[in-house]
Amino acid sequence: MEIGIIGLGKMGMNIAENMVEKGFTVYGLDVNTALKEEVDAKGISFAETIEELLSKFSGKKTIWMMLPAGDITETIFQKVTAQLSAGDRIIDGGNAHFEDSKRRGAACADQQLHFFDVGTSGGVSGARNGACMMIGGDAEAFAEIEKIFAAINVENGYLYTGPSGSGHYLKMVHNGVEYGMMQAIGEGFNVLQHAEYDFEMGKVAKVWNNGSVIRSWLMELAQDFLTENSRLDDIEGVIQSSGEGQWTVQEAMKMQVPVPVIAQSLMVRYASLDEEKYGEKVVASLRNGFGGHAVVKKED
């Protein structure tokens, strides 16, 4: 089976290698044309344009986009679908908003194309060695390509979720849960860091990851970096967010479904980006105004 992957970054490249290893014929496209020699050496036929990528197919086309959500995904989607024929397939394996995926699915249906929104989890190692994927799209069309997902995911690691949008919706909520889990782990280790006892954080993570209720891949990752540098004094406590946590909270608010842990973990991420801390300065000044509480002044 032939598959064309657009976007050969860390995730796209590893998914492409995974597919090649599983016996698929893979074509690749990336704006970084300097990748050509490396990509070709991995058994992935490199193309420099969409037209060249599509010309490589001998039959029905299956195009897999692995791109950042937003304008770039929309641009490539429009360019690719304009050149596909009835019965061809386009897959979005990035973290697009589910409403965008619903719209793209409807647009493809009008052109007699098959669109699949695929929420992808498992990180870079999962992309290469076996991921977890949640797939929305037409059920009959999915049956034609299910063998791709059976091959590149871990056992029991893929799920057909329903119509277009459902795959990215499920991945959105998955990432919201992920926000809360990581926040709880971070808070727990912060308590230990300030405790009266001299815990070895790497060893704590190790024992928690062997037989305990909270054992997980996240705890395994914590064990790795806390063993290497338990004080984490080489990084800033700035937490970026890629959008899915915010989307989860917005969707929950729309439905009036309480998600206090996910919402709080999102707020912590926003707070970590606030270097000015203007709101905290206002609160400190208010406490000083009504109660005479001391305000910590900046040193000159």
Active site residues: 171, 178
Instruction: Say what the pLDDT of residue 290 is.
Output: 95
**Dihedral sign of CA atoms 167, 172, 176, 181 in order:** positive
Mean pLDDT of the chain: 96
Which letter does DSSP use for residue 226 in this model?
H
Domains of the chain are 2-163 (3.40.50.720), 171-275 (1.10.1040.10)
Each residue's pLDDT tens digit, 81-139: 999 999 999 999 999 999 999 999 999 999 999 999 999 999 999 999 999 999 999 99
Average pLDDT of the residues in 34-60: 96
* Predicted pLDDT of residue 259: 98
pLDDT for the residue numbered 65: 98
C-beta separation of 147 from 3 below 8 A:
no
- Identify the sign of the CA torsion 182, 184, 188, 190: positive
* pLDDT, tens digit (0-9, with 9 covering 90-100), for 249-293: 999 999 999 999 999 999 999 999 999 999 999 999 999 999 999
What is the pTM (predicted TM-score) of this model?
A: 0.94
Confidence of residue 300 (pLDDT cuts 50, 70, 90): low
Strand partners for 116: 91
